[in-house]
Amino acid sequence: MGISGGVDSSYVAYLAKEWKLNALLVHLDNGWNSELAVKNVENIVKYTGFDLYTLVINWEEFKSLQRSFFKADVIDLELLSDHAIFSTVYKLTRKYGIRFLLSGENFETEAIMPSTWNWRKSDATNIKSIHNKFGDKIVLKTFPFMGTIKKTFFQYSGVAKSISVLNYIDYNKENVMNILSDKIGWKYYGGKHYESLFTRFYQGYILPNKFGIDKRKAHLSTLINSNQMTRENALLELKKEIYPEQLQQEDFELVCKKLNFSKVELENYIRRAAVPHNKYGTDEKVMLFMRYIYRRFFK
């Protein structure tokens, strides 16, 4: 199972321990972990006794990829981390003969998301195309790619079956956080996926200021639909600042420093118009071919 230190993956690890499973925890260190996330992962490993595999991304490669995505003005800056973690997890299932993958994805807290707010996470072609155009001549020697065809093979061939275990239980976010806090010493980090410093800046600053998107609307809408929050309380929550202005400024400066952007460059990036992912190379032809095969032979 992938583990970030966030509530969903942490609870899956907790449940695996309760169910007496023998799990391999897989963590992605992309250079943006918060101290809370690191501590949460440490506490989970200590509590469960599970083995931990940590993929430490080559920072120069990952920095080049992130800079490329900024320069490309595409919306899904998280595509890189998401691609790396699922690719790593699936490859490890093959390496160690693991047949089941426990996922923290769930309908109760994250079922609602407009398709235009993300890009296809398996689109290795899109990542390579953007990096080839903007990548500062850095060669990607170690980044863990896995394209759509290979990912689909892993998902549906029976080699490694992914199970969203949280969809089979009564999953209440507030109750779960209390359990994790009491049992493991887990600590909350202030927002959905904010265990990553980059994700916090991306969701709390870049999306609203460059793309006009407040991702809290999707997250809160899901909680309303799962009866974990009232619409009235959600509207009150949206009136609050996404995260403290002082912290936004600190994150702005950190992103400039780590990605070698000047303040002016990052400000200009925020002002530039968004560019769709499909302006660059994509795996669209592969997807169309796979849909044809599915309809022709399996539907």
pLDDT digits (tens, 9 = 90+) for 167-215: 999 999 999 999 999 999 999 876 665 678 999 999 999 999 999 999 9
Token reading at 257: 């420093």
Question: 161-164 and 24-29 as β-strands: parallel, antiparallel, unpaired?
Answer: unpaired
pLDDT at 195: 78
pLDDT at residue 277 greater than cutoff 90: yes
pLDDT at residue 234 greater than cutoff 70: yes
Report the alpha-carbon distance of residue 61 to residue 121 in Å, rounded. Answer: 18
Report the alpha-carbon distance of residue 3 to residue 43 in Å, rounded. Answer: 12
Report the alpha-carbon distance of residue 233 to residue 166 in Å, rounded. Answer: 24
* Residue 59 or 137, more confident: 59
pLDDT at residue 110 greater than cutoff 90: no
pLDDT at 192: 61
Instruction: Please state, for a pLDDT cut of 70, what percent of the chain lies above it.
Output: 98
Tens-digit pLDDT profile for residues 10-32: 999 999 999 999 999 999 999 99
* Residue 150 or 62, more confident: 62
Q: Confidence class of residue 288 from pLDDT cuts 50, 70 and 90?
A: confident
Q: Confidence class of residue 299 from pLDDT cuts 50, 70 and 90?
A: low
DSSP 192-209: TTTTBHHHHHIIIIIIII
- Confidence (pTM): 0.92
pLDDT at 96: 92
pLDDT at residue 76 greater than cutoff 70: yes
pLDDT at residue 71 greater than cutoff 90: yes
Instruction: Please state, for a pLDDT cut of 90, what percent of the chain lies above it.
Output: 80
pLDDT at 3: 94
pLDDT at 289: 80
pLDDT at 149: 83
Report the alpha-carbon distance of residue 27 to residue 138 in Å, rounded. Answer: 25
pLDDT at residue 87 greater than cutoff 80: yes
Question: 24-29 and 51-56 as β-strands: parallel, antiparallel, unpaired?
Answer: parallel
Question: What domains can you pick out in the chain, each with its CATH number?
Answer: 7-297 (3.40.50.620)
Q: Confidence class of residue 155 from pLDDT cuts 50, 70 and 90?
A: confident
What are the residue ranges of helices labelled H in the chain? 7-18, 35-48, 59-72, 79-95, 107-110, 124-134, 148-156, 173-184, 197-201, 216-225, 231-238, 245-259, 263-271, 284-297
DSSP 168-187: GS---HHHHHHHHHHHH---
Burial of 291 (0-12, 13-18, 19+ CB in 10 A): exposed
pLDDT at residue 7 greater than cutoff 70: yes
